[in-house]
Amino acid sequence: MDAQIDWQELHVAALRMTRLSYAPYSHYPVGAAGLVDDGRIVCGCNVENAGYGVTLCAECGLISDLVAGGGGRLVAFCCVDAKGATIMPCGRCRQLLWEHGGPELAVSTPAGVQSMDLVLPQAFGVDDLRRDR
């Protein structure tokens, strides 16, 4: 699958999103882009709030774009800062990515492409809810 992923295209899409970011408090724009299993590219940028804790990470917008655009599974993901440097998704957003991409989601990291099960080891997910107790 990795061979079919155009990482450059994803990176450009993510960087473009940083220009749309609303980050008047942190001054740290973030852009995210993901490839969906039907070939779509979904995107998001961070949207901050005067109530700091209400801030939406770029990944929140990306997941909303994914679902509102018809759903599907994420197969590749990258997020970048305003300089285009690859950054890691925060802990909460790793959980969002796990839900919609699962363990095989290919994540661009500063250390290279890694699968989601390395980015979020021993994740809690839908299988835990289904398991009989």
With binding defined as CB under 6 A, does residue 46 bind ligand THU? yes
With binding defined as CB under 6 A, does residue 124 bind ligand THU? no
Pairing of strands 30-36, 112-115: unpaired
With binding defined as CB under 6 A, does residue 82 bind ligand THU? no
CA distance 64 to 115: 22
59 is catalytic: yes
**Bridge partners for 79 per DSSP:** 32
Contact window for ligand THU (CB under 6 A) among 33-41, 85-93, 100-108, 124-132: 85-93
With binding defined as CB under 6 A, does residue 96 bind ligand THU? no
Q: Is 2 exposed, middle or buried (0-12, 13-18, 19+ CB in 10 A)?
A: exposed
What distances in angstroms separate CA 85 from CA 24, 38, 88, 107, one per listed residue? 20, 27, 10, 14
With binding defined as CB under 6 A, does residue 5 bind ligand THU? no
**Taking the complex as a whole, how short is the minimal distance between the CB of residue 96 and ligand THU, in angstroms?**
9
With binding defined as CB under 6 A, does residue 57 bind ligand THU? yes
With binding defined as CB under 6 A, does residue 17 bind ligand THU? no
Residue 85 in tokens: 């440097």
Count other Cβ atoms within 10 Å, centred on residue 33: 27
Q: Exactly one of 58, 76, 80, 106 binds ligand THU (CB under 6 A); which one?
A: 58
Kindly list the residues in this chain that would bind ligand THU in the complex (CB under 6 A).
23, 26, 28, 30, 46, 48, 55, 57-59, 89-90, 93
Catalytic residues: 59
